[in-house]
Amino acid sequence: MKTIQAYRYALDLTPGQERDVYAHAGAARVAHNWALARVKAVMDQRTAERSYGIADDQLTASMSWTLPALRKAWNAVKADVAPWWGEVSKEAFSTGLDALARGLKNWADSRTGKRAGRPVGFPRFKSRRRTTPSVRFTTGAIRIEPDRMHIVLPRLGRLKLHESARKLARRVEADTARIMSATVRRGGGRWHVAFTVEVERAECVPARPASVVGVDVGIKHLAVLSTGEVVDNPRHLVAAQARLRSLGRALARKTGPDRRAGRRPSKRWDRAAARLGRAHTRVANLRRDGLHKLTTRLAGTHATVVVEDLNVIGMLANRRLARHIADAGFAELRRQLAYKAGWNGGRLLMADRWYPSSKTCSGCGAVKTKLALHEREYTCDACGLVIDRDRNASLNLAALAAEYDTAGSGPVAARGADQKTRARGQVAVKREPGTTTVGQTGTVPPQGRTTDHALTRAH
């Protein structure tokens, strides 16, 4: 099975190498800003001509937004716009032009309805001080040295890694991986290189091929499994809050930048901002490490993992819980499960976001109309079952896998999303491009086992 994955390593650059990388990132920014200015000029000119009543066939010729067209236009003027163009790799300019081409395409597709999700704004000019330095190499000499502690990139030469790249090197030497590109980027106070690699992965089977687990995520506990296991929420951001506040107050006492007055930040402000950035990076790294360990264990152990399709953006509107919800990383947990399940030969099923997993009794199937958030124990009025709220939800999610297998993989008609939980009637089936949905409809007795459900299988 071929798949695309990334290998990311920290770099230990010398001052001279760091200047060279900054020069490449600056070249990418220059090419991006030049092309964006030209595109805006053509668009503004055509808009002005239309306001004068000029016919469409007589307007200024439009400019193509594709990467080949932008690269051709840049090559025609680079000697005048950037006389120093020969000092950096051509991949630096291609990085900026490619970013603009993708940004313009996403903006156009969003306006015409071809792109789903939130509206995409028009690309902006990249600032030297506010833009994250980054450059991407797709051609030329990109390799790992035999000592596996150094890499070679075009024009930048031999760069030292902070850690060994033996895992990627072994795959490349065994001809089971092919490096497609390398991206050098600065973040969290240091430089990293990320290799995009096409990997030939061996077919895997989960440790428990017939196991089904429901995963209910939350704030009090990061995850409650239908097996009875409870994964505590480490709350890394809360643990680091005291230090972050101290560093934030220290930063506020320094002389910072002022765009209106044209004032540049002091050196002490730069050092304080770097310390604050490193503290936030540490929190992000701890969160990412915990999620990777959890999702790797779940995907490698269970053949079927069932999670909820939570409306995380809507949940963040809650002022009291927004910080804790963002700190838990619900969306990242589901994203990692989606591709790791495929790597390990399993599958990920996503319950519709309006499926009442917490309000449904895992014993008899009765559905409560209301269940307050502070009620941490579920008490069934029909059968008298008393169970932890999160454990009850995880059991209901696990039960959906059997209903999914019984119903089959074909879509079943339903009336659409409904935010209200009803004891009778139909439950929503969410339809998304690239997913297979299945659902059942029908009338449910007040105390009977509900058959209303909706599942989405992630490919």
Catalytic positions = 216, 308, 390
Whole-Å CA distances, 337 to 291, 409, 458: 10, 20, 10
Using DSSP's 3-state secondary structure scheme, residue 360 falls into strand
Distance between CA atoms of 247 and 249, rounded to whole angstroms? 5
Distance between CA atoms of 222 and 372, rounded to whole angstroms? 19
Half-sphere exposure of 19 (CA within 13 A, CB side): 4
Half-sphere exposure of 388 (CA within 13 A, CB side): 14
Could you identify the residue written with the tokens 């804790």?
Answer: 324
Whole-Å CA distances, 388 to 76, 370, 378, 392, 401: 68, 16, 6, 6, 21
SS3 of 87-111: the string is HCCHHHHHHHHHHHHHHHHHHHHHH
User: Are the CB atoms for 206 and 303 separated by under 8 Å?
Assistant: yes
Distance between CA atoms of 356 and 378, rounded to whole angstroms? 13
For residue 58, the 8-state DSSP code is G
User: Are the CB atoms for 414 and 429 separated by under 8 Å?
Assistant: yes
Quick one: which of 330, 346, 337, 331 has its CA closest to 296?
337
Quick one: which of 236, 388, 248, 402 has its CA closest to 327?
236
The torsion angles phi and psi of 390, rounded to 5 degrees, stand at -70, -40
Tokens describing residue 390: 């999160």
Quick one: which of 227, 238, 244 has its CA closest to 280?
244
Distance between CA atoms of 44 and 309, rounded to whole angstroms? 42
Residue type, 7: Y
Radius of gyration of the chain (CA): 27
For residue 127, the 8-state DSSP code is P
List the beta bridge partners of residue 437: 456
Could you identify the residue written with the tokens 């009336």?
Answer: 415
Half-sphere exposure of 7 (CA within 13 A, CB side): 24
Angle value at C-alpha 416, between 412 and 419, nearest 5 degrees: 130
